[in-house]
Amino acid sequence: MRHRSSTTHLGRNRSERTQLLRDLSNALVLHGSITTTKQKAQFVRPYVERAITISKKGDLAAKRRLHSLIYNKDAEKKLRDELSSTYAARSGGYTRVVKLGKRQGDSADMVRLELV
């Protein structure tokens, strides 16, 4: 039964979902935009926004918290050095979702998730 099930499962178990979340967030931070399905974009968006907000604080606790969220050293460095200063004046809404249409193979809604 699915009563009061609040987690988006994305057809994966918990460890696979966690790894997908980390991979998508690392790719978004490193490349600036990713093309994915609408559901995956909605799943990863709050995670990335939270990581950017944490990186803006800049203290030791924020650095450790960021390390627990982002497992890629290059992505961590980019968040701390570049993106935290870029979004210093912005209080949220660091990402944008652009609709791209449907994927040809299975007609899934495709979007581009990008940093503003």
For the stretch 56-102, pLDDT in tens is 998 999 999 999 999 899 999 999 999 999 999 999 999 999 999 99
Is residue 2 pLDDT above 80, yes or no?
Answer: no
CATH 3.40.50.11900, domain 14-115, yes or no = no
Neighbour tally for 93: CB within 10 Å: 9
Rounded to an integer, the average pLDDT of 45-52 is: 96
pTM recorded for the entire structure:
0.90
Q: How confident is the model at residue 3 (pLDDT cuts 50, 70, 90)?
A: confident
- Structure confidence at residue 1 (pLDDT): 74
- pLDDT above 90 as % of the chain: 91
Rounded to an integer, the average pLDDT of 9-23 is: 95
Residue by residue, DSSP assigns 19-65 as: HHHHHHHHHHHHHSEEEEEHHHHHHHHHHHHHHHHHHHH-SHHHHHH
